[in-house]
Each structure stands twice: as structure tokens, then as C-alpha cells.
Amino acid sequence: MAKRMQSMDGNTAAAHVAYAFTDVAAIFPITPSSPMAEFIDAWAANGRKNLFGQTVKVVEMQSEGGASGAVHGSLAAGALTTTFTASQGLLLMIPNMYKIAGELLPGVFHVSARAVAGHALSIFGDHTDVMATRQTGFALLASGGVQEVMDLAAIAHLSAIKSRIPFLHFFDGFRTSHEIQKIEVLDYEDLGKLLDIEAVKTFRRNALNPEHPVIRGTAQNPDIYFQAKESANRFYEVVPDVVAEYMKEISKLTGREYKPFNYYGAPDAEHVIIAMGSVTDTAEETVDYLLSKGEKVGLIKVHLYRPFSAKYFFDVLPKTVKRIAVLDRSKEPGALGEPLYEDVKALFYGKENAPLIVGGRYGLGSKDTTPSQIKAVFDNLKVENPKDHFTIGIVDDVTGTSLEVKEVIHTTPEGTIRCKFWGFGSDGTVGANKNAIKIIGDNTDYYAQGYFAYDSKKSGGVTISHLRFGKKPIKSTYLIDEADFVACHKQSYVHQYDLLKGLKKGGTFLLNTNWEGKELEKNLPANMKRYIAENDIHFYTINATKIAKEIGLGGRINMIMQAAFFKLINVMDIDQAVDLLKKAVIKTYGKKGEDIVKMNHEAIDKGISSLVKIDVPDSWKNAVDEKVEEKEKPEFIKKILEPMNKQEGDDLPVSAFVGREDGSFPLGTAAYEKRGVAVEVPEWIADKCIQCNQCSFVCPHSAIRPFLLNEEEMAKAPEGYSTKKAIGGKKFEGLQFRIQVSVLDCTGCGNCIDVCPSDALVMKPIETQMDEAKNWEFSETISEKKDLLPLTTVKGSQFSKPLFEFSGACAGCGETPYIKVATQLYGDRMIIANATGCSSIWGASAPSIPYTTNAEGKGPAWANSLFEDNAEYGFGMAIAVKHIRERIAELMNELLSFDLPEDIKAPFQEWL
């Protein structure tokens, strides 16, 4: 049968195979695994059939604990059952995992491995979650890339059925779960042929059934529990052979060779890395590079991690190996080493001439691991006393664990086209790039890879798409460090980020901008001009924002930029590209009506015809940087927030977090961001305003506020700072009222305009309102006058400074106005227990903290525990505070019984 190649991500690949072998899926969503369950659910809704000719029964439970309970019950009753999870979700499944394994039930868990929240939440990838399940009795199978996910997902299901041991199949969260690759799709007919149908029948016969009942899950005493546990050993002993056999079958079917441990590199290698997961692809690329330099190096890719088979390990390890570096993507504080390292060490214990073995950590929370870092690991093996317990990818200047990258290497195979896109969250850039990969991957002989990096804003943040195309399968599982093409979809980014870092000499830069001619010359930063001129960059501009507006697409510039990309990148005939883009538009927007389709088709045509090639003058080589006046800022802002916001957080050393080891961050940092993300912002029309303060009440970002100025303050107001006589009774006499917009914090959501009862606000392009930034700075110096009206009224509450401002929540968020008003009422006395979810992301995404303090330095003390335990977490806080207060009251009462001066007694009595 001809190979079916298709572009998809790791989650889709796992779901495709899982569906075939699944009768029942019990699910609960958790990032980054959720798409797997969503696909299964959608396919079941469409009536897709599994290998047994039935549609999968999908049940969504109330938590991961519930999902694993349902998996256990469903398996016990004879249905092949699957689930999908990650991180804390997997940890919630652990109690049932012991049960499932203990009862030899062949369930399969597909896990997009993710960090487990500790000092901070991380939704990104590492193996900490999977490592916490080592003892459960599940077999653990690791995939390194999207194709492997497809292939090894099948091995997991087939082996579970045959061996009766449940399998946990894992791959790296985001790096693999969300990376799009052009891969071969396994056919259900082929998979069906590999299924051990007799084992399936045995499994079903063994199910709980009143026709032939058994009792399972007894309570056992010290007399037999231990022996009964050991009686299952023989089932584990055969797992490596079962897996190896199925790997051979899949290898025959696909031509891709799989073993419990795969070796890659020189047959006479002296230095070898051992690792599992997506880093193994990067390591393969690095091994190729080093082999080409004549080095004797290699790599062992661990697929079957549990049961850990010495036999299969030694089958592939070259006899010549003298030194080994083991890489773990997890951290086990206090252990002698990380799990894989300890396993490898144990393999060699007592062996003669055992190689020297060192271990290190990499990639926690999706930290990128590059070929240069892998080379540093090999370099470490070359020195007389290699560093043990090292780290790569960070600079640890506190405990000195990190390996220095002495040489930056580029290992991407010749002919690979690498493209980077700087987009603005929700502008459609990521969607457009996913589309581009599918068009190129599915319609040319190019392999394609897409990976998408986001910042921590709920929307309106920066997105960076990394796309690679090449004639060979792409193994570069790291961010693009050397690009052929860079596109910037938002003009203001030229001042915020180092967009051209890594753009190669002679590369192409496409900028969406409304600057033309002299204005472009004036506005481009000098360092960018120098880079373009010195590196012979082909520089193009397009005014996609204007085109999108004219066509009627609003802010959706994605189709225009995508068409421009196809025109410039030249991976396929442009007429064919246009045709495919237009077909994709019909597929995506067809149901939304002809007008939408027409608009997008026009966008494609204009994206191609409106490109402007800039003739770069030689004078740009000598462009001089403008002097920027440095404002007074706290150390945290200068040393942590600003580098992170410039996308340079990866360069922060460990010492930057000394004093913050417990994860504590300061309040009020969001106020320093001044993102300026709105295209249009409200302008206040004083004459029409009735001073109701409703605009301020509904603003999700606290970016529009009423201010009351006394005479003294009025005297200091900057020019053009319009106010009107304050109304509201006697207390307001002598005061002037003003509504002030913080244009650089506004997201342009329009909520304030919608609610204003007297048309006193109108949307204006942000460029016309930039003077308001200065006015905002002045308004912030005005004293708070919150005692003039009751705080419990809409108008009165808004004269109180919100202790929650400028969050990265989505524009128009419906949650944040509530928390904002709560802080206006009693933020100086709040402790917040915040469940994990949307509100923990807009509430505390480092480094941007919207919770802030009043003039006395008081404000909400905020903390987040987990997702499912927040009521209990908050309850714990409440009982602790109550208990401590009771003790204070006891002490005060005791003191009051003494003869104390009145001025000491009075505050005690008041407090009591």
C-alpha cells in the first residue's frame, strides 16, 4: 500500500492510533494533552469506527482522578480503555494506576509530558510527571518525535493487550505534542493485522461477569500480600520481548527501525549520550555533525524505559564505549542523581571496565536544548574529570552546575529552509502558519515542521512561529537559531525585540508596516538598519493592516501575510500556492458565507501584489543609535521583567532568582510593561461626560479611571489636561473631574464605550492619543479621594485605586472587572487562594503581576496551589489566619488585665 503522508502534530498522531485500539475513552482535559481527547471525542461524534468496528464511547469525567477511576472500572468490565493526560493530571491518576497494573489490565495512557507545579506553575514540557509514575507497575514507553508518536502509540496498545501490562506512552509536551511534522500515517487495516485477537478475547473473558464471577481487589494481610505481589513478576519479565517483537513488526511495516533502545552513531563510539524524548532528535543531528568532524560519538535513544531491560541495552551499546553522559529531563531534589542516570549507573554496577558515567539535567519546563548544548555535553566527556550532575541550557552561577557552551554550531542539514514569524496573539499568524505547513507538506515533496512559541499573555502577546521545510525528515527539535526568512506582523515590535537575531546573510525580512519612504527611514531603529545593510538582507514591506481594513477583515492580517510569505519564500510555484491558499479559504470559511471567502481571496491577491522591495541605502551601515533617557525603576524591573519582556529571559542566570527560591514575586510589575497593544483607544469628551464612572467600573484592565483634582493639583497639570467641575454634592465642591485613559495599557476592547450612557468616549487610533501617556503619568500622582462617596456604589468604588491593574487577560475579559472591584473594596486586607486556570494566568504570569499595592504598600497577598484543591487551600489559609488572630486576641486580653496606659489599651480594645 502507498504511504499516506500527512502534516499533523504529536497529539493528533497519538489520538489517531489510540482511537483504533479503544473501546472506551475516559477523559479530562489538561494542557498540553487536551487535543488528544478532543480528537477522540470529535471522531466518535462523527461515527468513526475503531478496529472492532465500533464507535469509541467517550466519557468526560469531573477530574483526572475520576477519569482514571472510570478507566479502571471500564477495563475491569472488559472494554479496552484509554485516557490522555499530563502533569498534575497524571499525578491524580496514580492511585488508580497501581490498581490497573495490579490487576493486569491492559489500559493505555497517552501522556504529553509536562512539568509539575512546584515553585511555579509551568504548562510546558519535561518528564517530571512521568517519572512520578515509575513505581506504579505501568510500562513506560518514550517517543522522540511526531512520527515516533504515531509508531510507538501502536506499540503501546499492541504490547499492553498481549502482555496484560498497562502502558504509559509519553512524548514531550508542546515540543512534540504541538509540533507539526509531515509524517506517515499508519493504516488501521495494517494495525488490525498486528492485533493479538486471542489476547483481546482472553481480556474480555477475564472481565467481571456474573456469568462466571470472581472477586478482585481483596484486602490481604501480611501472610500473603507480599507473595501475591511477587507472583506478577513473570508478566513484567516478558514485556521487553513483547515490545521488541512488535517493534520489529512496525519496523517491517514502515521501514523505520525501532528497538527498546536504539543506537545512533559511530559503531566504534567512545563517548555516548543516553536520553529519551524529543532531545534525541537534536542529539542525532549533533552526532551527525560530530561524526563529520571525525569524532567517535553516539547516542542511545531510550524507548522502553520501564521495564528497563539490560539485555536490550547491552545489545546496542558499542563495546568501545569509554564514557557515557545520561540526560534527564526531570529533577529529583536530594537524590544521588536523576532517574535515568541512576538506572544506567545500576546497569554497570560491578561490571569490569565499566565506562565512566556522568549525568545532567536539561529542558525543564520546555527550556530549549540546542545542538551547541549537546556538543557541550560531548565536550565535557572529553576532559579528564568530566562534570557530574551538570545542567545544560542555563547559566548556573550559584551552584555551578552548568556546562559552558564553548562553540555555537549549526547542524541543520543543507537545503533546509528556516522561517521565523513574529505575530501578535490572536492576529491569526499561528493559524496561518499551520495552514502554510499543511499546504507545503501535503502538496510538495518537502518535509515540513512547525513549532509555535507563545508568551504568557492570555491574548495580545507575542507569538513566534518556527517553520522548517526540507527534502529530508526534519530532526531539529529546537527553536530556529539561524533563519532564512523572518517576518514581523506587528510594526511596534521593531522597537521591542531583536527581530533579526539569527537571520542569515542574504536572508529575507518582511515587515508589516504603514511606514513608507522617509518615515520608514526615520522610524526603523538604527541597529536594525545596520543589520539589514551589513548582512545584505532582502527587505520587503507590506501594509497588511491597511489592506485588511480596506477589505473588511478588521485586524486579521494573516491571509495577506501568508500570501506574501509564499511569494517570497519560493518553495512552490506561486500560482499553485495561490490556488491552494484559496481552496484552504473555502474549506475554512465556506460555511461562514461567500462574503468572507471573497474577502480572504482578495487578501491573498493583495498580499502578493502589494509587496514593496526596499532599496537599502549604504548609509544604513552607519546608522547611529538614538539616546534613550533611562527612567528610575526598581531592580526587579530592570534585571528580570525587562529582559523577559524582550524575549531574553533564557539568558538570565540562576543568580537572578536568589532570594526568590520559594517562587515569591513582587506586586505591581505589570504597570511597567506599557505594552501599547491596542490599535484604537478611547478618547474622553469632557463636555458629554455625566461622571457616572461606569467606564472605569467595566474596564477589564483598569486602564480608564476617574480622577478628582484639588486646586493645588490642578496648578501642576500639564498643558491640555482637560477637566470639568466635579459633581456629586457638597463634598465635591472645589474639585475638578477627569476621566483618564492609560493608552499604553488599554487593549482597545471597547467595553467602556459600550457602557458609557452619554457617548462621552470615542475610539481613536492610538497614534493620535500618545500625549495621553504623559497625562496618565501625571494622573497617577493625584491623591486618592475615596471617602467622598460610599465605596459600595459604582461611582464611589471607582475613586478607590484598584489594586489589580493592567493584567494580560484577553481584551474585554469578563472576569477581571470583578476581581478589580474586589480589590477596590478591600484589596489592602485580602489573601487570595487562586485555583489554577485562566485567573491564575492573568493573575500571576511571571514577570507581569497585575496585583499591586496602595500608597501604604498594602495589597492582596496572592497564591496559587493547584486546580482541584483550591477550596481546601483557601480553607487552610482561613483557619490559619483565624487561629493566629485568636492567639493575638488571647494575648491582648491578657495584657488588658494589666494596668496599662489608655493609649495602649485603646487600640487593643478597638482591634478586639
- Written as one letter, the residue type at 439 is I
Give min distance, CB of 746 to ligand SF4, in A. Answer: 3
Choices 146-154, 470-478, 678-686, 897-905 (CB under 6 A): range interacting with ligand SF4: 678-686
Cell of 229: 505481589
Task: Give the one residue of 611, 692, 788, 791 binding ligand SF4; rule: CB under 6 A.
Answer: 692
Cα–Cα distance, 435 to 799 (Å, whole number):
48
| Burial zone of 767 (CB within 10 Å; 0-12 exposed, 13-18 middle, 19+ buried) | exposed
Q: Quick one: 19 or 684, whose CB is closer to ligand SF4?
A: 684
Give min distance, CB of 631 to ligand SF4, in A. Answer: 23
| Burial zone of 877 (CB within 10 Å; 0-12 exposed, 13-18 middle, 19+ buried) | middle
Give min distance, CB of 445 to ligand SF4, in A. Answer: 48
Task: Give the one residue of 682, 808, 827, 859 binding ligand SF4; rule: CB under 6 A.
Answer: 682
Give min distance, CB of 814 to ligand SF4, in A. Answer: 12
- Rounded to 10 deg, the angle between the 429-443 and 574-589 helix axes is 120
Choices 25-33, 379-387, 397-405, 683-691 (CB under 6 A): range interacting with ligand SF4: 683-691
Q: Quick one: 22 or 736, whose CB is closer to ligand SF4?
A: 736
Choices 29-37, 53-61, 264-272, 695-703 (CB under 6 A): range interacting with ligand SF4: 695-703
Give min distance, CB of 859 to ligand SF4, in A. Answer: 21
Give min distance, CB of 588 to ligand SF4, in A. Answer: 29
Give min distance, CB of 676 to ligand SF4, in A. Answer: 12
Q: Quick one: 463 or 751, whose CB is closer to ligand SF4?
A: 751
CB neighbour burial string for 225-236, b if at least 16 within 10 angstroms, e if fewer: eeeeeeebeebe
Outline where 497-557 has alpha helix (H): 517-523, 526-534, 544-551
> If you search the block for the grid coordinates 542566570, which residue do you land on?
653
Q: Quick one: 488 or 695, whose CB is closer to ligand SF4?
A: 695
Task: Give the one residue of 703, 766, 782, 833 binding ligand SF4; rule: CB under 6 A.
Answer: 703
Q: How many residues bind ligand SF4 (CB under 6 A)?
A: 29
- Written as one letter, the residue type at 105 is L
Q: Quick one: 569 or 695, whose CB is closer to ligand SF4?
A: 695
Q: What's the DSSP call for residue 456?
A: S
Cα–Cα distance, 904 to 886 (Å, whole number):
19
Contact flag: residue 699 with ligand SF4 (CB under 6 A): yes
Q: Quick one: 502 or 750, whose CB is closer to ligand SF4?
A: 750
Choices 155-163, 331-339, 419-427, 686-694 (CB under 6 A): range interacting with ligand SF4: 686-694
Q: Quick one: 110 or 675, whose CB is closer to ligand SF4?
A: 675
Cα–Cα distance, 637 to 847 (Å, whole number):
9
Cα–Cα distance, 326 to 127 (Å, whole number):
14
Q: Quick one: 143 or 694, whose CB is closer to ligand SF4?
A: 694
Give min distance, CB of 764 to ligand SF4, in A. Answer: 11
Q: Quick one: 140 or 689, whose CB is closer to ligand SF4?
A: 689
709 neighbors 799 (Cβ within 8 angstroms): no
Residues present in the chain in total: 912
Query: Binding marks (x or -) toward ligand SF4, 764..793, rule CB under 6 A?
Result: ------------------------------
Choices 593-601, 636-644, 680-688, 839-847 (CB under 6 A): range interacting with ligand SF4: 680-688
- Rounded to 10 deg, the angle between the 558-569 and 429-443 helix axes is 40
Choices 227-235, 486-494, 617-625, 700-708 (CB under 6 A): range interacting with ligand SF4: 700-708
Under rule CB under 6 A, which residues in 725-764 are in contact with ligand SF4? Answer: 739, 741, 746-752, 755-758, 760-761
Cell of 845: 504570569
Q: Which of 852, 911, 909, 867 is nearest to 885 (CA)?
A: 911
Q: Quick one: 672 or 737, whose CB is closer to ligand SF4?
A: 737
Give min distance, CB of 302 to ligand SF4, in A. Answer: 50
297 neighbors 411 (Cβ within 8 angstroms): no
Give min distance, CB of 813 to ligand SF4, in A. Answer: 9
| Burial zone of 499 (CB within 10 Å; 0-12 exposed, 13-18 middle, 19+ buried) | buried
Choices 61-69, 130-138, 516-524, 684-692 (CB under 6 A): range interacting with ligand SF4: 684-692
Q: Quick one: 528 or 766, whose CB is closer to ligand SF4?
A: 766
Cell of 392: 545544560
What are the helix and strand counts (H, E) for the chain?
34, 29
Cα–Cα distance, 541 to 77 (Å, whole number):
63
Give min distance, CB of 706 to ligand SF4, in A. Answer: 6
Q: Quick one: 405 or 671, whose CB is closer to ligand SF4?
A: 671
Task: Give the one residue of 286, 543, 693, 823 binding ligand SF4; rule: CB under 6 A.
Answer: 693
**143 SS3 class:** coil
CB neighbour burial string for 566-578, b if at least 16 within 10 angstroms, e if fewer: bbbbebbeeeebb
- Rounded to 10 deg, the angle between the 279-292 and 371-382 helix axes is 60
Q: Quick one: 387 or 705, whose CB is closer to ligand SF4?
A: 705
Task: Give the one residue of 690, 881, 889, 912 binding ligand SF4; rule: CB under 6 A.
Answer: 690
Cell of 813: 475579559
Choices 20-28, 142-150, 456-464, 681-689 (CB under 6 A): range interacting with ligand SF4: 681-689
Do β-strands 612-613 and 538-542 pair in parallel, antiparallel, or remain unpaired? Answer: antiparallel
C-beta pairs of 886-890 under 8 Å, 24+ apart in sequence: none
> If you search the block for the grid coordinates 549549526, which residue do you land on?
410
Give min distance, CB of 681 to ligand SF4, in A. Answer: 6
Cα–Cα distance, 764 to 832 (Å, whole number):
37
Give min distance, CB of 776 to ligand SF4, in A. Answer: 11
Q: What's the DSSP call for residue 791?
A: T
Q: Quick one: 603 or 789, whose CB is closer to ligand SF4?
A: 789
CB neighbour burial string for 610-642, b if at least 16 within 10 angstroms, e if fewer: beeebebeeebeebeeeeeeeeeeeebbeebbe
Between the two ends of the chain, the Cα-to-Cα distance in Å is 83
- Written as one letter, the residue type at 883 is H
Task: Give the one residue of 33, 694, 779, 824 binding ligand SF4; rule: CB under 6 A.
Answer: 694
Task: Give the one residue of 110, 182, 303, 701 binding ligand SF4; rule: CB under 6 A.
Answer: 701
Q: Quick one: 21 or 684, whose CB is closer to ligand SF4?
A: 684
Under rule CB under 6 A, which residues in 868-907 are in contact with ligand SF4? Answer: none
- Written as one letter, the residue type at 702 is S
Choices 28-36, 380-388, 693-701, 875-883 (CB under 6 A): range interacting with ligand SF4: 693-701
Give min distance, CB of 752 to ligand SF4, in A. Answer: 3
Give min distance, CB of 780 to ligand SF4, in A. Answer: 15
Q: Which of 344, 184, 329, 221 is nearest to 274 (CA)?
A: 344
Q: How many CB atoms lie within 10 A of CB 340?
A: 23
Under rule CB under 6 A, which residues in 289-348 are in contact with ligand SF4? Answer: none
DSSP lists the bridge partners of residue 27 as 60
Cα–Cα distance, 624 to 281 (Å, whole number):
42
Under rule CB under 6 A, which residues in 94-133 are in contact with ligand SF4? Answer: none
Which parts of this chain interact with ligand SF4 (CB under 6 A)? 681-682, 684, 689-695, 699, 701, 703-704, 739, 741, 746-752, 755-758, 760-761
